[in-house]
């Protein structure tokens, strides 16, 4: 039986036993459209793998409208940064439509990373892509004329 996590880039190098362990220890969650999945500033104790639906990731800015960082869907991961640095959530994630995720707590991810170091490398690749996107967004904002 193939795990529902087999198509997730973060876990693509994980062997089937590791995928099954995650699937068994993860908690399925459902979020209706418009519901906040995680809020900027909250504690980071889990990541979510989106299995169905779409979400918007945005960062609040004092005195300004929130800055949309991304829209993500099935196979994408949210909340991974806080697991690595234990810092509060850096963005708010809201379900754009009915969304299902598999919530994986930090302790589960720590065990997986110790047993399967390739997951740590995949996490670093994910973070690198997000950092590049943030750099591109910063460049675009810097080039925008002042309002």
CATH of the domain at 134: 2.60.120.10
In DSSP terms, 127 is beta-bridged to none
Which among 44, 31, 36 has a CA at the least distance from the CA of 104?
44
Cβ partners under 8 Å of residue 83, min gap 6: 44, 45, 46, 47, 106, 109
The stretch 86-111 carries a mean pLDDT of: 92
User: pTM for this structure?
Assistant: 0.82
pLDDT at 102: 94
Containing domain of residue 53, as a range? 9-143
pLDDT at 144: 72
Per-chain mean pLDDT for the chain: 85
pLDDT at 64: 78
Judge whether 2 lies within some domain.
no
Domain tally, the chain = 1
The larger pLDDT score, comparing residue 125 to residue 59, is at: 59
Judge whether 91 lies within some domain.
yes
pLDDT at 147: 62
Residue 124 has pLDDT above 80, yes or no: no
CA distance 79 to 29: 14
Judge whether 1 lies within some domain.
no
pLDDT at 84: 73
């Amino acid at each position: 039986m193939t795990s529902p996590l087999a198509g997730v880039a973060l876990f693509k190098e994980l062997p089937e036993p590791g995928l099954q362990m995650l699937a068994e220890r993860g908690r399925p969650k459902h979020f209706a459209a418009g519901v906040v999945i995680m809020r900027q500033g909250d504690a980071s104790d889990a990541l979510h793998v989106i299995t169905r639906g779409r979400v918007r990731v945005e960062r609040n800015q004092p005195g300004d409208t929130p800055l949309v960082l991304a829209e993500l869907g099935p196979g994408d991961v949210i909340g991974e940064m806080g697991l690595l640095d234990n810092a509060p959530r850096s963005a708010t994630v809201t379900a754009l439509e009915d969304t299902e995720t598999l919530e994986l707590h930090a302790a589960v991810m720590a065990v997986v990373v110790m047993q399967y170091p390739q997951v740590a490398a995949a996490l670093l690749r994910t973070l690198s892509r997000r950092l590049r996107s943030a750099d591109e967004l910063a460049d675009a904002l810097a080039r925008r004329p002042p309002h």
